[in-house]
Amino acid sequence: MKKIVDKFDIKDNISEIKPTGSGHINDTYSVFVEGEKSPKYILQRINTNVFPNVKKLQENIVRTLEHLKSKNDNRFKIMEAIATNDGKYWHKDEEGLYWRMFTFIPESQSFDLSPNDDFTYQAGVAYGWFIKSMSDLKGEKLHEVIPGFHSIKLRVTQLRDAIKNDVANRLNDNRNIVDFYLDRCAEMEKFDSLINTDKIPLRNTHNDTKINNVLFNENGKSISVIDLDTVMPGAIHYDFGDAIRTTAAKALEDETDLKKVGISLDYYKSFAKGFLSETEDILTQSEIDYLHISPRIMAFIMGIRFLADYLRGDDYYKIKYSNHNIDRAKNQMKLILDMEEKAELMKNIF
């Protein structure tokens, strides 16, 4: 690990490198330097099964960081990408693995679940600020690093393929879960036809708006948005919906006690208030009109992704036990059911 860090253009003496984070995709490490108790850098091994074009991935991230920094908004801190000694923003090691480094945001904290309403509101502010800040990015469109990332049509096709092939021989034991999602495919796919139209224009979106991708200071104020791997053109509803799916959730998506799973309307309202405080001036009325259904759409997308991965034999997401992905799919199913019951209440806050 020290040999890898030495490939990057830093002058510090490294004292420790240790694993950190709870992400499903990349491997993340905190890098400590002599004389400091907090990490100074973040080192990541890029999962090239998910991000095969590292050059485009890193171009998106560096461009986004530079644009956010140009806003000079002192409410938010922007991490910096560390170049290698030969001027690139990634390093390929002797085993063919790709690595990158960023500065660590000091005096920050993150959460997998929102502690209270104030944090939820602040998360809304942070992601709203991100969308508004990225709305005037000049030049070429950002690269689509994962084509069809939130495409409902694509994800439904992948699910149907996984059902048809059943390579892990897991279908028969989970027919009720499969039928639940298949029953909702037609309704969900209708939303796809609205994207990149006058109703739902494409914007530069984050596309992974879990609450743990917002950093907070000790006073509970949001101070940074991180994990920019999936920043690319998309619908605003991807960001709002996935944020509510995780930030307003009463339980983690790994929770197996389904009685605990549901959506907090108070947190939902708080996040929406913070989000719209930053974005209301740039969103169209049509975009706002569709916001209330986006959390259910994103729970559906994630549910069928977990389900398809389970039926394929768990070839995408990191798992901790054999039924992890099907438990995640059940979790999202319960979340969808709860939001279906609360659909009118969720609609009426806008």
Rounded Cα distance between 142 and 136, Å, is 12
User: CA separation (Å) from 192 to 134, 144, 150, 302?
Assistant: 23, 17, 9, 15
Rounded Cα distance between 120 and 274, Å, is 8
Assign residue 221 the CATH number of its domain: 3.90.1200.10
In this structure, the answer to whether residues 70 and 185 fall within a common structural domain is: no
- Domain of 235 in residue numbering reads as 117-347
Instruction: Average the pLDDT over 105-118 and give the result.
Output: 92
In this structure, the answer to whether residues 180 and 304 fall within a common structural domain is: yes
Asked whether the CA dihedral 97, 103, 109, 112 is positive or negative, the reply is negative
Burial class (CB in 10 A: 0-12, 13-18, 19+), 95: exposed
Instruction: Give the DSSP letter of residue 127.
Output: H
Tell me the pLDDT tens digit for each residue of 2-22. Answer: 899 999 999 888 999 998 866
Torsion of CA 64, 69, 70, 71, to 10 degrees: 100
Rounded Cα distance between 252 and 326, Å, is 14
In this predicted structure, the answer to whether residue 350 has a pLDDT above a threshold of 90 is no
Instruction: Please provide the average confidence, as pLDDT, over all residues in the chain.
Output: 94
- Number of structural domains found in the chain: 2
**312 CB neighbour count, 10 Å cutoff:** 19
Assign residue 44 the CATH number of its domain: 3.30.200.20
pLDDT band at residue 23 using 50, 70 and 90 as cut-offs: low
In this predicted structure, the answer to whether residue 25 has a pLDDT above a threshold of 80 is no
Go through 72-90 and write b for each residue having 16 or more CB atoms within 10 A of its CB, e for each that does not. eeeebbbbebbbbeeeebb
In this structure, the answer to whether residues 155 and 93 fall within a common structural domain is: no
pLDDT band at residue 272 using 50, 70 and 90 as cut-offs: very high
Pairing of strands 232-234, 98-103: unpaired
Per the model's pLDDT, the better-predicted residue between 87 and 318 turns out to be 87
In this predicted structure, the answer to whether residue 36 has a pLDDT above a threshold of 90 is no
- pLDDT recorded at residue 24: 64
In this structure, the answer to whether residues 274 and 329 fall within a common structural domain is: yes
pLDDT band at residue 279 using 50, 70 and 90 as cut-offs: very high
Tell me the pLDDT tens digit for each residue of 228-266. Answer: 999 999 999 999 999 999 999 999 999 999 999 999 999
- pLDDT recorded at residue 22: 61
In this predicted structure, the answer to whether residue 79 has a pLDDT above a threshold of 80 is yes
Instruction: Average the pLDDT over 196-219 and give the result.
Output: 93
Q: Does residue 13 lie within any of the structural domains?
A: yes
Instruction: Average the pLDDT over 310-328 and give the result.
Output: 94
Rounded Cα distance between 18 and 36, Å, is 15
pLDDT band at residue 156 using 50, 70 and 90 as cut-offs: very high
In this structure, the answer to whether residues 123 and 243 fall within a common structural domain is: yes
Closest CA to 82 of 48, 155, 154, 33: 33
**341 CB neighbour count, 10 Å cutoff:** 12
Q: Which residues pair with 120 in a beta bridge?
A: none
Instruction: Average the pLDDT over 86-115 and give the result.
Output: 94
In this structure, the answer to whether residues 72 and 164 fall within a common structural domain is: no
In this predicted structure, the answer to whether residue 42 has a pLDDT above a threshold of 70 is yes
**Predicted model pTM:** 0.91
- pLDDT recorded at residue 159: 97
